[in-house]
Structure 1
Amino acid sequence: MTEGSTPHLSPARITVLGVQPADPPFRIVEVDGEFVGRATSMTDVLLIAAESGVLIHDLDDLEEVRWVGGGKFTWTPH
């Protein structure tokens, strides 16, 4: 078996955790594993990342953003 047969997944710098029930509901945003803010929308994720020095070019790129507990359109608790 060669090492080339195992896919390599690089971790995304931005992690958006699951929706937290609050008024309004929010998602925790981490950069490089550190808490950096609370987002209530996709725009908030982009702004929080930029304030932390990380520019997101594609919210669907798994190498840029890791969505936990729902994708970019999930902003209400289930």
Structure 2
Amino acid sequence: MTESNSPYISVPRIVVLGVQRTDPPFRLVEIDGEVAGEATSMLDVLTLASAYGIHVHDLDDPGVVRWVGGDKLTWRAH
């Protein structure tokens, strides 16, 4: 197989991990493989990204943000 036939697998710079069962619940946000902080909403994710110089135009783009344990609307433990 040549490189041109290999699938491209993107690794997003931002990874939002699953909801932590605390009061209030939050999600850890990793940026470039390191924990950047805690988020309780999409706005927190965008604020953290901005602090690292990342301008997110689409939170649904898997090449930009990877959501683990739920999507951008999941902020409470099930």
Same fold by TM (over 0.5)? yes
Q: Which residue of 1 aligns with 2:71?
A: 71
Which structure 2 residue ranges, 5 or more long, are not aligned? none
- Once the 2 structures are TM-superposed, how far is the Cα of residue 7 of structure 1 from its aligned partner? 2.2
Question: How many residues in Structure 1 have an aligned counterpart in Structure 2?
Answer: 78
1:42-63 deviation line (CA, Å, top 9, x unaligned): 0100001101111111000000
Q: TM-score of the superposition, structure 2-length normalised?
A: 0.91
CA distance in 2, matches of 1:5, 1:52: 34
Instruction: Name the SS for the 1:27 alignment partner.
Output: strand
The percentage of counterpart residues that share the same residue type is: 60
Residue 10 of structure 1 corresponds to 10
Match of 1:30 in 2: 30
Using structure 1 for the length normalisation, give the TM-score.
0.91
Deviates more, 1:2-11 or 1:18-27: 2-11
Gaps of 5+ in 1: none
Write out the 4+ residue segments of structure 1 that deviate beyond 2 Å after TM superposition: 1-7
Q: Partner residue of 1:53? A: 53
CA RMSD of aligned residues (A): 1.1
The residue number in structure 2 matching 1:42 is: 42
